[in-house]
Chain A
Amino acid sequence: MQREVGALPLAPALRARLAAAGFQTAQELLDTGPCGLSKEIGISKEEALEALQVVRQECHGDAARAAGGSGATRKCTALELLEEEQTQGFIITFCSALDNILGGGVQLTKITEICGAPGVGKTQLCMQLAVDVQIPECFGGVAGEAVFIDTEGSFMVDRVVDIAAACVQHCHLIAEAQQEEDHQKALETFSLESVLSHIYYFRCRDYIELLAQVYLLPEFLSEHSKVRLVVIDGIAFPFRHDFEDLSLRTRLLNGLAQQLIIIANDHKSAVVLTNQMTTRIGQSQSTLVPALGESWGHAATVRLILHWDSSQRLATLYKSPSQKESTIAYHITSHGFRDVQPPAVTPDAGGAEGNPRKRPRREEEKQ
């Protein structure tokens, strides 16, 4: 197990000193011991001890892996992953066309990005998902809790109350129609108060608070192990203004993306981000593209773009590892996200009603 010194997660200054002193493999470091090490490279005994602890951890991790145990590493065959994926649930959005193009709904363990112009319904979809993740399993949901990180301040509690009430009502109607015992039992715990109490809300005002929140999230998630959805509403907002050093922004965003992927994977939860749109001025025309640049486009696994077409709202699946690109239409009603034509079977006919709360579509905003 000859790990090279350059490949160990030590501080760069320490690594430079070790290389200058001629250490090449981790085994040599361990053989020297802390006293010899501190004498050779001129660091204090405590630092040498800390460094050796890190090295020992890495080497033991390697040894455990080589012996056949694969507990800590994320290694498996494609067959095992397929079985895992087939038993995993989706978070439905109550708009069946959108669920269809997403392949069943928002997938767990993946990052989904929702981009759109202002007013098209990104925050509405996030609030809908925060409610839908809590649907009990007998009704086809995931029975999890939600973390909502808000950077723009657009989270309105009374709107969530409306959406949650409609969702609970929908489940009651299904239970009455199907009359099964576990439905009744699940309904006892699935009520408006329980839905609201399982949405954990964080408000971050600038990018430092956002980064801190995301890096502290794994601890929070290990305490609240039922969380299945992390929503960050407005990831573009804190990063778009007042950033002089663009390379710093790219680095921070990429680090954030990797951290979110780790969270999604380790805690089996879906991560949903919302992004703004910006204009790219080309030779002959200008187009609307998602904000935060080209490199951010690689962070999300699934990308959904919401846009207007005269007065109809459309959703396009732009990037997905398993579904084809397609566009569907949707509506936002007083009950939340719904299809344009309500399917005939469901009892709630909230499909095509006008909503007094819905923002009126003004002509100036048309792209």
Chain B
Amino acid sequence: MSRHWIGDTLASDGLEAEFNGLSVPLEHSFELDDVAKFQLRGSLMLKTGREPSVSLNQNQLSEEDRTKLKEVAAVDGLYRIRVPRVFLQADKQTEWQTEGHLTAFVRACAMVESHLSDVITLHTDVSGYLIGVSIVTLPGACRGIEVEDEVDLEVFNTTLSIMAPVNAPGPETALFIQRMEQEFEKKGKNPQEQKSFFAKYWYLILGGAIFLMVSNSAQPPAGGGREQS
């Protein structure tokens, strides 16, 4: 487990106090026989509180590890990471740690081909427990491209974020009612009084006129007869 590049100072109490949060180890494992042997990769600085944030402090890969990672990539092995389960809302330090680890993986070849550029996301639940971790590389595919330059595999280019669950929307009755009211008002603004009497009832008047005309034209013989008499 112990490696020369482990930054013990990072996990020291002094730093923790500065960050007003806690520091947890981020460990990784890549082995040829695929039996996980986790080693320290860096440490996560978790800022607790209402809006948790996270930052990462990590070291470079050693020469030895670089060659091992390439070998593992060649046999399509896995690159795993793990973080301990922590509780971000705890006030006391004794409370934040709980049993067990959360693990995730990518293909080692993707790690190599992306030149160690990975995206790590920590997921918490509603109350602030860390429930899962995920890792993807950018680009994510394994195309079998040889990474010639060893330097490319030295420094991690990590994008780190922490995600809390979003609040799912409920049925939006308020907006709907508002919209209905708006429509109602719109109807109310141009009421029918504004139209003239003829504009409103033109069809009735027209109908009446036609009716009168028809009845008049039917009458003439009788009316004419009366006039004659």
Partners in one complex: no
